[in-house]
Every structure is written in C-alpha cells, then in structure tokens.
C-alpha cells in the first residue's frame, strides 16, 4: 500500500480528555510515524502538546483550566456572555503552560478544521506561527456557547465540529492511506438527529447556513463513521476509541471523572502501540523466514 500516514483526532470538549491520554501514551515512546495530523476543536488543541513533545500539557489544560469558571460559566451565559470562553482558555494555557512552538513547528504538520459561517461547510487550515491563535480559537468556537465569530484570512468561522467532526475523509482526500483515528465516543456510538431542528433558526438567526449545518451534523458525523467502518480498498484505518463505560460528557467538570477518562486514554494508547509493534515484529519475522527459505532453495 502506498500513500501517506495520518493521525485524525476528534473534538468533543471535555471528552477530549481521552485523546489527551492516548497522545501522552504515544509520547512515552516518541511515537510519531505520521506524515500529517488533522484535528478539530478539542482534538486540534490536544494535538498541540503532542506535536510539541510536551506530555501532560493537554491534561493540565483540560483539568486545571477548562474546569475554571473563567472558561465555563453558566451564570455569565445567562447574563448574555459566553458559556465557554475559548479565547481565555487559549491565552491562559500559553501563560500557565507555555507551548514549545519551535518543537511543534519542526514536528508533523497540523491541519485543523473550521466551519465557514457563510457556506456552512468545513474549511481546513495548515497551522503555522502566524495563524495559530486564530485557527485554534475558530476550530473550538462552539456555536451559541461562544458568542464571538472569529474572522481571519478573509473568512469568518465557528467550531469545526459543526461541519466535520471527524475529518477522516479529508485526510483520505489529501492522500492518507494509513489513518489512525482517535474518537471521543465508544465505537458503538452513532449520532442521533437533532430533536428540535427548528430551534436552530431562532438561536442562529444571524447565521442561517450554520443553523442548516447543525441540522445536518448527525448525517455528516455518521457518514464519517461509515467511512471508518468501511474504508476504500486502498486504505487502512485504525480506530482508538473510549471503552463503553466512558461516561464523560461535553461539559463534565469533576476531576475524578476526568482522571478516569485520561487513564482510559493512556491504556488505549498503550494497547494500540503494543498491537502496532507486534504486527511490525511479525512482519519482520516473516521477511526473515522467507529470506532464509530462499537461501535454502538456492543452495
């Protein structure tokens, strides 16, 4: 099989604690065999620490900052402010847990998904030193919960998960034929259609295309799942998903639960690495055996 290797990381707000554990398990053995990484929302944020080679950074951002009232504040939302303050989280994470951008930009290229508020479709940006704060804000700018509309590079955007929650098809479109996907839900999960689709027109009346994208989100999400389960013949997809008992929600704030989710991620990451190394070893042994047999046949 020819083609690139890609790592795709789903978002999911606090459910991203699982991916942070998986990526930290990868860092334990400096496992970075990918040609590029694709992240969306919390998935893109998680990838920053991984690409910079900073274990536990994402865990600290989630458990110490994303649980803080300056980030998540229902009372502020009722008063007309943000339910979540994405800009505060990014700025405070840089202050409290400085990102090694030199190491990050020497590492695997990072592609992040955002949702264009004019088209309702996904746009994708290669993250660089100039657009880093803009892309990370935009990819996590959850509609309704985060009131500002980030604008840069001639467009205005909202959370990438609206249009492309699991950008595995985009990874394939860009040449990846060996794709590892880190999900935020157990593998049995399928997204249900929105119960009150008409409500989106009222809540997002300034951005009707985003409202339509929200109504179509379940279909798009499940199409990505179908692609993962039934990839093209020239593509291999490895899935790392939380176990069925993973019960962390988008806004779970209890550290005990988050710690459990993180440990599940570490265990899943280590299990994936073991299977990868085992398969590589088996293939190498088979090659050596074939070589020895050929020598015997030629003797």
Q: How many domains does the chain have?
A: 1
> Does residue 266 form part of some domain?
yes
Q: Which helix (H) or strand (E) holds 23?
A: helix 17-28
* pLDDT, position 275: 86
Q: Which residues lie below 8 Å from residue 53, measured CB to CB, with a gap of 6+?
A: 27, 30, 100, 103, 107
**Alpha-carbon distance 17 to 32, whole Å?**
20
Domain membership of residue 185 as a residue range: 4-271
In a domain, 283, yes or no: no
Residue 194 resides in a domain: yes
Cβ neighbour number for residue 247 with a 10 Å cutoff: 12
Q: Report if residue 49 sits inside a domain.
A: yes
List, for residues 19-52, the tens digit of each pLDDT value.
999 999 999 999 999 999 999 999 999 999 999 9
In a domain, 288, yes or no: no
The answer, yes or no, to whether residue 247 has pLDDT greater than 60, is: yes
Which tens digit of pLDDT belongs to each residue from 69-117?
999 999 999 999 999 999 999 999 999 999 999 999 999 999 999 999 9
Residue 72's CATH number: 3.40.1090.10
Average pLDDT, the chain: 93
289 belongs to a structural domain:
no
From the list 15, 43, 16, 58, the residue with the least C-alpha distance to 171 is 43
All residues at 6 or more sequence positions from 154 whose CB lies less than 8 Å from its CB, including other chains? none
Pair type for strands 4-9 and 176-182 = parallel
What is the percent of the chain with per-residue pLDDT over 90, rounded to a whole number? 86
pLDDT higher than threshold 90 for residue 299: no
Q: What is the pLDDT of residues 268-296, one digit of tens each?
A: 999 999 988 776 656 665 665 556 656 55
User: Which residues are the active-site residues?
Assistant: 41, 159
SS3 284: helix
Question: Is 104 within the bounds of a domain?
Answer: yes
Domain membership flag for residue 284: no
């Amino acid at each position: 099989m020819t083609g690139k290797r890609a790592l795709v990381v789903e978002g999911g707000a606090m459910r991203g604690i699982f991916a942070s554990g998986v990526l930290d398990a990868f860092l334990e053995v400096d496992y970075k065999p990918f040609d590029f990484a694709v992240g969306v929302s919390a998935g893109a944020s998680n990838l920053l620490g991984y690409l910079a080679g900073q274990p536990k950074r994402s865990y600290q951002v989630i458990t110490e900052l994303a649980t803080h009232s300056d980030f998540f504040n229902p009372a502020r939302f009722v008063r007309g402010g943000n339910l979540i303050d994405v800009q505060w989280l990014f700025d405070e994470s840089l202050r409290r847990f400085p990102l090694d951008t030199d190491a990050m930009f020497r590492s695997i290229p990072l592609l992040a998904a955002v949702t264009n508020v004019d088209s309702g479709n996904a746009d994708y940006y290669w993250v660089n030193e100039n657009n880093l704060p803009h892309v990370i804000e935009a990819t996590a700018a959850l509609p309704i919960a985060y009131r500002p509309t980030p604008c840069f590079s001639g467009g205005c955007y909202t959370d990438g998960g609206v249009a492309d929650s699991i950008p595995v098809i985009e990874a394939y479109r860009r040449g990846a034929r060996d794709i590892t996907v880190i999900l935020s839900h157990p593998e049995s999960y399928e997204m249900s259609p929105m119960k009150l689709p008409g409500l989106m027109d009222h809540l997002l009346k300034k951005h009707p295309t985003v409202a339509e994208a929200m109504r179509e989100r379940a279909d798009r999400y499940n199409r990505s799942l179908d692609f993962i389960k039934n990839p093209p013949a020239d593509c291999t997809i490895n899935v790392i998903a939380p176990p069925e008992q993973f019960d962390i929600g988008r806004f779970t704030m209890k550290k005990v639960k988050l710690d459990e989710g993180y440990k599940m991620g570490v265990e899943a990451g280590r299990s994936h690495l073991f299977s990868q190394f085992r398969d590589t070893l088996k293939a190498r042994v088979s090659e050596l055996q074939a070589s020895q047999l050929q020598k015997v046949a030629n003797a």
